[in-house]
Amino acid sequence: MESGDRERAHVYVSGQVQGVFFRDSAWQRAEQLGLAGWVKNLPDGRVEALFEGEPEKVREMIQWCESGPPHATVESVDAEFEAPDEELRGFEVR
């Protein structure tokens, strides 16, 4: 896929998003959508993620983050779009 066909979003999710399987659920959803990147917990209680792939799939993943898995309580999702500088491979929980 050419870099012009890909989009990258750096996402921060705030709320009750740790200890509710957010990362594992995000990994499963990203795999279903064919996205590359990673997701991890931050010390301040937020979840940080990087999603890369087809623009409509990246946006669908950001929309998923707005509700998250069943036990999550999402207060806000901040997404910053970046130009992909290298093609990511696979999706991982960090």
Residues serving a catalytic function are 23, 41
**DSSP label at residue 24:** H
CA atoms within 13 A on the CB side of 83: 3
Q: For residues 19-46, b (16+ Cβ closer than 10 Å) or e, as one string?
A: ebbbbebbbebbeebebbbbbebeeeeb
